[in-house]
Amino acid sequence: MERSAPTADVAVARRQFFDLGAEPQGAVSPTILNSWARCRARGFDSHGQPALEPVPSSTLKEHHDRSERLIRASRRELVALRGEARGAGAIAILTDGAGLVLDAAGDTGFAGKAARVALRPGVAWSEAASGTNAIGAALMERRPVEVRGGEHYFEPHRFLTCAAAPIFSPTGDLLGALDLSGPAGAPTAEALELIGRGVDQIERRLFEAAFRSEDVVRLQTDPDRFGGAQDGLLAFEGSRLVAANRHALRMLGLDWSALGQRSFRDLFEAPRSAFVDGVARSGPCGTLYARAARAPALTPGAAFESARTPAEARPASEPGPVFDAGTRADLARAVRLIEGDVPVLICGETGSGKEVFARAAHAASSRARKPFVAVNCAALPEGLIEAELFGYEEGAFTGARRSGSKGLLREADGGVLLLDEIGDMPLALQARLLRVVQERAVTPLGGGKPHPVDLRLLCATHRDLRAMTESGGFRADLYYRVAQYAVALPPLRAAPDRRAAALAFWATLRTEGRTLGPATLERMAAYDWPGNRRELVGAMKALIALSEPGDEIGPELLPAPLRGRASVPSAVPAPEGPAERTADLDTVARAAIASALDAAGGNVAEAARRLGVSRSTLYRRGVARRAS
């Protein structure tokens, strides 16, 4: 943990840095100094007030839904922390992984002052949005950070002193941050400790909600301290390590990359079957004691939650982005490339998560609060793609809207544009796109003056674009412009441990105590997932919908292909009853298209491939939806 310098020294450091352009020596920590330098490089004016607007309440609700697991696990800590905050004239804050404030409460007087600088729900306190601050720094540095008074980048934030710590999922994903913010100058000695203890409890709860107690091993350096929130926690699937908390990683001298890679034997020099509670091994922190976990006691909070949410089927939430260590490294690179205005080409099979990756890169970039526009070139009918992308002037063609249209390229102005399935873009449009990329201006259909656009470009494809340049299907000049840096997302079947991969996705869904039985996991590990992560998430949502909270899910609930039947369900179902037998051909075709679209998660190109027909056939049938 890093603490800050006395206020007078910070004032001197500020003058040196902001007014004289000199590097202050020793007065502020390297964390603060690096953050100031990044903010200055972003062109932030430290004397100004950042333009921070809360997202609309409907968007905030979506953020809440996405962070439902985190909010649930944090509830008790937030209540406790608010009590502490009120006593200290401060507020307790929970944010999501992008720094967006989900909840802020405590002392009402101070909450009012904080709201005046937009420290309130719905506003992003990432460094890219709000300059140097504890939430942004903790998320960026992935460790607890305190930022006091003048250490904040923007002058109007100098009345704040904040302590924040990041919150990790059991598989190492950054889920959010817990923060305590109060008036500058107030005693804050305990703030980081309080936050640290809160995060320990939240991470423990997330861990216990995701894994069966039989799969968990607890670690301690002092056997008398077992049972607290500082226990090291490890989860194994068979003998493979699939999850851990920060304490366990520290005790073992490991990092998150150990998940899916290390076995029980690697860690404890004995097979799991021979495990007995007691001294397990020595680690960087001394002798380590291990215990197989007991079923966690039902807390009053947990009993209340289960009483409120009986077995009625609730929709499984979308998983948060789940990336393996290699993809996380690619993501960090992609963010830097976005900042450096270098286009990135994301390659991977259908459903491998190209759009999820692109959205995550946008969310982690300094353009997070600007638009992210995804255009699926394969899903736009050829005749419309030009108008959709470039926009058109009033009356440019029959059927054009009277007021004209701005076009998707200009809608992405200031933000990030994802051209998905760029290999499906017609050649003539490739030339126009190249001009936009080179000239940074869009000329609408029907003439008119070019409009300057400031966008960062990401492209995605499942095709071999280089081979397409050789066969003449893709312009070489555009290829070398958009494929300067390519990221390859591996297919799910290539995961070194598919069980661990499946469990990592499972851990991010709202499972309400459901677990995947051993036979179910075995089938999932044996299956080759032609639809990749889309298919995996779809199968998991189906398992959740078909089971009850707390169930151990057996293989009988798996979709047919996973149960071991021949292949993907036939896109054209064989008529079964009299009604189907008399149904006309059109009805059968519509049902087949609807089922293929469902199986392809709404992706028209993929549905067409499954049906063995062209995309235009689907459009003619009028059932294809536009994917965006």
Ligand X SMILES: Nc1ncnc2c1ncn2[C@@H]1O[C@H](COP(=O)(O)OP(=O)(O)OP(=O)(O)O)[C@@H](O)[C@H]1O
Whichever of 473 and 601 has its CB closer to ligand X, that residue is 601
Binding residue for ligand X (CB under 6 A) from 352, 430, 515, 595? 352
Count of chain residues binding ligand X (CB under 6 A):
22
| CA 44 to chain CA mean position, Å | 26
Say whether residue 610 binds ligand X (CB under 6 A).
no
Binding residue for ligand X (CB under 6 A) from 82, 523, 534, 610? 534
CB of 330 to ligand X, least distance (A): 11
What burial letters (b/e) apply to 132-158, b meaning 16+ CB within 10 Å?
bbbbbbbbbeeebbbbbbbbbbbeebb
Say whether residue 533 binds ligand X (CB under 6 A).
yes
CB of 372 to ligand X, least distance (A): 13
Residue 311 DSSP class: S
CB of 314 to ligand X, least distance (A): 17
Q: CA-CA distance, 410 to 201, in Å (whole number)?
A: 46
Question: Are the C-beta atoms of 217 and 476 separated by less than 8 Å?
Answer: no
Instruction: Give the 3-state secondary structure percentages of the chain, helix then strand then coil, rounded to 5.
Output: 45, 15, 40
Q: DSSP string of 140-207?
A: HHTS-EEEEGGGSSSGGGTTEEEEEEEEE-TTS-EEEEEEEEEETTS--TTHHHHHHHHHHHHHHHHH
Phi, psi of 455 (to 5 degrees): -135, 155
**Residue with the closest Cβ to ligand X?**
353
In the structure encoding, which two tokens stand for residue 206, read together? 């997330």
Say whether residue 354 binds ligand X (CB under 6 A).
yes
Kindly identify the residues of this chain, within the stretch 460-479, that bind ligand X according to CB under 6 A: 460, 462
Torsion of CA 102, 108, 114, 119, to 10 degrees: 0
| CA 224 to chain CA mean position, Å | 38
Binding residue for ligand X (CB under 6 A) from 92, 241, 254, 322? 322
For residue 507, which of 175, 91, 124 has the smallest C-alpha distance? Answer: 175
**Stretch binding ligand X (CB under 6 A), from 187-195, 353-361, 477-485, 544-552:** 353-361
**Stretch binding ligand X (CB under 6 A), from 159-167, 174-182, 347-355, 400-408:** 347-355
Whichever of 119 and 544 has its CB closer to ligand X, that residue is 544
Say whether residue 511 binds ligand X (CB under 6 A).
no
Say whether residue 206 binds ligand X (CB under 6 A).
no
Binding residue for ligand X (CB under 6 A) from 154, 207, 323, 527? 323
Say whether residue 606 binds ligand X (CB under 6 A).
yes
Q: Give the number of other CB atoms < 10 A from CB of residue 285.
A: 15
Binding residue for ligand X (CB under 6 A) from 237, 603, 611, 618? 603
**Stretch binding ligand X (CB under 6 A), from 64-72, 315-323, 330-338, 617-625:** 315-323
Say whether residue 356 binds ligand X (CB under 6 A).
yes
Say whether residue 73 binds ligand X (CB under 6 A).
no
Q: DSSP string of 392-423?
A: B-TTSSTT--TT-B--HHHHTTTSEEEEETGG
Say whether residue 529 binds ligand X (CB under 6 A).
no
Whichever of 289 and 323 has its CB closer to ligand X, that residue is 323
Phi, psi of 141 (to 5 degrees): -85, -15
Q: CA-CA distance, 585 to 509, in Å (whole number)?
A: 39
Site string for ligand X, 536-575 (x = CB under 6 A): -x--------------------------------------
Binding residue for ligand X (CB under 6 A) from 24, 343, 348, 404? 348
The residues that touch ligand X, with contacts defined as CB under 6 A, are: 318-319, 321-323, 348, 350-356, 420, 460, 462, 533-534, 537, 601, 603, 606
